[in-house]
Copies of this chain bind each other. A is one copy, B any other.
Amino acid sequence: MLVYSLRTRKTVRRSAPTASERFADFLPLKKYDPSLSLSVGGTPLLRLGNVIDQFGLPEVFAKNETANPTASFKDRGTVIAVQKALELGIKKIGTISTGNMAGSTAAYAAKAGLPCLVFVKEDTPQDKILAAAVYGAMIIKVQGDYGGLFRKSFEIGRRRGIAFMNSVDPFRIEGYKVTSYEIFEQLGAPAFRAKTPVMVLVPVSAAGHLIGLIRGFRDLRDLGLISKLPVLIGVQASGCAPISRAFRRGSDQVERFPNPHTIAHAISNPTPPGGELALRLLREFGGFMMDVSEPEILRAHALMASREGIFCDPASATPLAAVLKLKRRRHILLGARAVLIVTGSGLKAMEAILDPSRLDIRTASLETLDKAL
């Protein structure tokens, strides 16, 4: 079955096996190659029934992006950026990362047979470096300013013929659109025609992910599959909230966030390159930004694991923290459906389990086992 839109002159191939293939006309590739995809996407939408019951929430779902090949949403962008590099005949790729993007880019480079260069901050934990280096990438730990490194990477890339696919790479962002298509398919069209809007909450760092999600829903509107966009809510940690702060001030400029400090390392970006575009898109489509405190993040992180069986990183817990905050402030509409994007795995952020003494870990011998219980 086909959906063809005169307005977009694009076709949705309803019978194709993955959303990337169903919506391939909306991807910036001549041809999407599933054999290089490591089977990205198709991630589950899980109803958070226990949390809903405990807090009296409306319908809340987690879009579990940790089910992606390298356990984070980054894979959706990487698969498109790498295939675009192949299409353009580029022979080497690179990225800058503090964690998830390094592993993702290195894995897809390995599958595509492209050499990969990864710049990481000097203080990146060794485990994260190893989890990228294992794919055969060259890793360089760089001392100095991250913003400076961002600019420098493009200069090096131009001179040496390396395509740097950083956080707001335009092809990477196009890949994130597929998440919106999947949410539409998984919730079903009626959810998007209901009186109360669907809310989509996403952790925000550089803002590439948020921008991609908005564009994905805009594609669906242009196709006539939905009449208006869901309410997009970008969530930051209060300890590093440059875009949320600008949104609150009504500003369209994002200023460097001084002294960032949060356990949600994956979204600790004081100078988000996509911040201003994100602000413009949120205002255009009726979304907003908010931020949540460290205790709120830690509580939501524990709830995700202990009530719903989802062990995510702290950044991925910010959408649940935001929903609970909206509930306390009576900002959640009855009958609304909230989709929380769970962006990364707890296995890559073990430091989030700050205080093992709060967990129940005991020691016994075979003989004293009964007593220990």
What is A's interface to B at a CB cutoff of 8 Å? 35, 38-39, 42, 44, 46-47, 49-50, 64, 67, 69-71, 103, 107-111, 113, 117, 119, 122, 126-127, 129-131, 133-145, 148-149, 152, 156, 160, 302, 305-311, 345-348, 350, 353, 356, 359-366, 369-370, 372-373
Contact = CB atoms under 8 A, between A and B. Distances in A.
Contacts of A346: 131, 134
Contacts of A130: 350, 353, 356, 359
Which 9 pairs between the two chains have the least Cβ-Cβ distance? Answer: A39-B44, A136-B306, A111-B309, A107-B309, A133-B359, A144-B366, A347-B347, A138-B360, A110-B309
Contacts of A113: 50
Contact of A373 (B69, B160, B305): B160
Contacts of A360: 133, 136-139
15 contacts: A50-B111, A67-B69, A71-B345, A107-B305, A110-B305, A110-B309, A111-B309, A126-B356, A127-B350, A139-B362, A140-B372, A142-B365, A143-B363, A149-B366, A152-B366
A91 to B, nearest CB: 14
A369 B142 contact: yes
B309 A143 contact: no
Given A38-B46, A70-B311, A345-B347, 9 more contacts: A50-B111, A71-B71, A108-B309, A134-B346, A135-B306, A136-B360, A140-B363, A142-B364, A347-B348
Contact of A141 (B111, B119, B361): B361
Contact of A143 (B135, B144, B347, B364): B364
Contacts of A143: 363-366
Contacts of A310: 38, 69, 107
B67 A134 contact: no
Given A35-B49, A138-B360, A305-B110, A131 B350 contact: yes
Contacts of A306: 110, 134-136
A66 to B, nearest CB: 9
Contact of A39 (B64, B145, B347): B64
Given A134-B306, A309-B69, A140 B44 contact: no
Nearest to A144: B366
A156 B39 contact: no
Q: How many copies does the complex hold?
A: 2
Nearest to A108: B309
A345 B359 CA distance: 24
Nearest to A153: B369
- Provide the main secondary structure of the chain A interface: mixed
B373 A134 contact: no
Contact of A369 (B137, B152, B307): B152
A362 B363 CA distance: 41
A128 B350 CA distance: 10
Contacts of A108: 309
A308 to B, nearest CB: 6
A58 to B, nearest CB: 17
A137 B110 CA distance: 37
Contacts of A350: 127, 130-131
A76 B143 CA distance: 44
A325 B51 CA distance: 50
Given A67-B67, A67-B69, A366-B148, A347 B140 contact: no
Given A134-B353, A353-B130, A141 B71 contact: no
Nearest to A64: B39
A175 B319 CA distance: 33
